[in-house]
Structures are given as C-alpha cells and as structure tokens.
Amino acid sequence: MIEQPFELSTSLERTIQKVVQDDNVDYIYMRFNQGEGLPEHYSNSNVYMTVVDGVLSIALDDQDYHDYPARTLLKIPYHIKMNVQNHHDELLVLIVVKAPAPKNYPRE
C-alpha cells in the first residue's frame, strides 16, 4: 500500500490529536467545547487553521478576538502571539497545518 491512512478522533471531549508530525508538516486535529481552547502561545511555523465546525474565536498579537465560522481558512505567519478559544455553544473543530514542520523552521 502506497498511502498511509490516519483516523481522526471522534471524542466529544477536548481533543488535540497530532495526526502527522514529520519532516514536511505538522497536521493537528482539534476539538474544543465552549470555554475551552489553547494556552496563549507564539506560532512556531506558518500556521494554516481550518475551521471545520463551530465558530473559532481567536486573538492574534494585540488584536481583539475575531470570530470565524466553519469553512474558514486562516493563514497565520510565524512568531505571532495566538489565543485560540471557543466562545460559542457549538463544538469547535479545527484542522491545523504547520509548514514547514516546526522542527525544520529556520531559527534566527
């Protein structure tokens, strides 16, 4: 078999599933209930964040929170302060792609 299949979690609980982490890319599947999210952090690569379901509430650098509905793709540059949250009732489902893989990102 040439392809390598991966199964995404079906849990209804908070989920951060690092599906693929290799020399090329990090591919992460996330699920957050209302009031859940990620700790504030800085992007460690170029981040491509797809809102699959729900509404993403995100504050970047010193901006206020912005809300993005399902079927939105955000492109976030390297070394940007991020605060990712679910401020809404419905389950938030995200797919996050980091490219290049953070372990290969050129450091200053």
**Which domains does the chain possess?**
36-104 (2.60.120.10)
- β strands within the chain, DSSP E: 15-21, 26-32, 41-42, 46-53, 55-60, 66-69, 72-76, 81-85, 92-99
Q: What is the pTM of this model?
A: 0.92
Q: Give the pLDDT band (50/70/90) at residue 7.
A: very high
Q: Note the pLDDT tens digit of each residue in 50-94.
A: 999 999 999 999 999 999 999 999 999 999 999 999 999 999 999
The first and second tokens of residue 69, run together, are: 């509905």
- Residues contacting 63, CB < 8 A, separation 6+: none
Residue 25 pLDDT greater than 90, yes or no: yes
- Mean local confidence (pLDDT), 25-34: 97
Tokens for 2?
A: 């040439």
Q: How far is residue 21's CA from residue 10's CA, in Å, rounded to a whole number? A: 20
Listed ranges 8-12, 62-66, 101-105; the one with the highest mean pLDDT: 62-66
Q: Mean pLDDT, the chain, as a whole number?
A: 95
